[in-house]
């Protein structure tokens, strides 16, 4: 498939992003796109200026692109973490999110990334979820949101939100099933040996 025909998934990185919010979906989506290139997708990470970011627990992660040099996205993934708190009051970031909504066919979030979407007005009147400790905050940001506290992720067509941290892995596997096929998602899950069996 020609490079220009390849569809693109962008994962946003920002200071104090929760590591697994970004890296969990990256593991799923990069395994998929690297091992099944014929499906016609690729995934990359980007930050505001293209510089590496230091995540919530101290891991430093490099970006592939800066915001202003992004290729057109088919899917945007906005992670959560402590770094989303200032974004809720950051008019420039919220306007950037609204601009993505106008051009990106599928918007997704992990954990408190959905709070940013709510603050930007993207979740008005729609079902959504977030980390269990931020469900009340999600409802406060926009009382019209149909908050789904028991859902691992909520697929509302052109917008998918997922619950906290590790839920991003489940959401990413759902993306593979939706964008490719359930069988492909099973192959990816097997490939990364994701079969949760908590010890407690």
Q: Which residues form the catalytic set?
A: 111
For residue 168, give the DSSP letter.
H
Q: Rounded CA gap, 170 and 103, in Å?
A: 25
C-beta separation of 133 from 163 below 8 A: no
Structure tokens at 6: 């390849």
127 close to 154: Cβ distance less than 8 angstroms: yes
Q: How far apart are CA 138 and CA 196, in angstroms?
A: 27
Tokens of 119: 């603050």
H/E stretch holding 25: helix 19-35
By the 8 A CB rule, do 27 and 169 touch? yes
Per-residue tokens: 62: 């490099």
């Amino acid at each position: 498939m020609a490079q220009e025909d390849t569809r693109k998934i962008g994962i946003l990185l920002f200071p104090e992003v929760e590591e697994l919010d970004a890296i969990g979906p990256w593991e799923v989506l990069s395994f998929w796109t690297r091992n099944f290139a014929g499906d016609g997708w690729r995934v990359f990470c980007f930050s505001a200026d293209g510089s590496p970011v230091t995540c919530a627990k101290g891991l430093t992660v490099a970006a592939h692109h800066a915001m202003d040099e992004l290729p057109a996205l088919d899917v945007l993934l906005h992670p959560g973490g402590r770094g989303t708190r200032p974004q809720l009051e950051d008019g420039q970031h919220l306007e950037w999110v609204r601009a993505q909504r106008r051009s990106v066919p599928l918007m997704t979030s992990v954990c408190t990334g959905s709070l940013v979407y709510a603050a930007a007005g993207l979740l008005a009147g729609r079902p959504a979820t977030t980390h269990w400790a931020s469900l009340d905050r999600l409802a406060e940001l926009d009382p019209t949101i149909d908050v789904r506290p028991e859902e691992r992720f909520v697929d509302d067509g052109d917008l998918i939100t997922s619950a906290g941290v590790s839920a991003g892995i489940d959401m990413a596997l759902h993306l593979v099933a939706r964008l490719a096929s359930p069988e492909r998602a099973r192959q990816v899950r097997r490939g990364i040996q994701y079969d949760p069996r908590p010890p407690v």
